Amino acid sequence: MDLANLLLIPLIAAVLILALEKCLRRNHSSYPQARPYSGGGDLSSHAWCRFHVRYYPMALLLIAFEMEMMFMYPWAVVYVAEGIKALMEMGMFLTILALGIVYAWREGVFRWQ
């Protein structure tokens, strides 16, 4: 039942919103209205063009941490049973990762270049 609920709840929620939007939509807009708003500026290019994401080094750093989260979930469950050993192990692991953050900070990863 838990799994059935877990599948049905988001499914019904999504369908509900799709149906709601479809029923409530009053779509009689004219062609000039469909022009993107763009703050009154003149559109010289398509919006879906190459875009320089200024924070990409930060995004790369995140991947390292996300992998580390994978280890932390099972670790959290056995932590009290394993005791001080688990604390030390994760402490060392986090220290190494924290050094990585300090290095990344010094290199200006968290500034938009």
Q: Residue numbers of the site for other proteins (CB under 8 A)? A: 1-6, 8-18, 20-21, 24-29, 33-39, 43, 46-48, 51, 53-55, 58-59, 61-62, 65-66, 69, 72-73, 76-81, 83-84, 87, 90-91, 94, 98, 101, 104-105, 110-112
Q: How far is the CB of 48 from other proteins (least distance, A)?
A: 6
The tokens describing 89, both together, are: 């192990």
Provide the terminal-to-terminal Cα distance of the chain, rounded to the nearest Å.
50
Q: How far is the CB of 34 from other proteins (least distance, A)?
A: 5
Q: How far is the CB of 94 from other proteins (least distance, A)?
A: 6
The tokens describing 12, both together, are: 């019904």
User: Distance (Å, rounded) from C-alpha 34 to C-alpha 94?
Assistant: 51
Cβ-contact 104, 110 below 8 angstroms: yes
Cβ-contact 100, 64 below 8 angstroms: yes
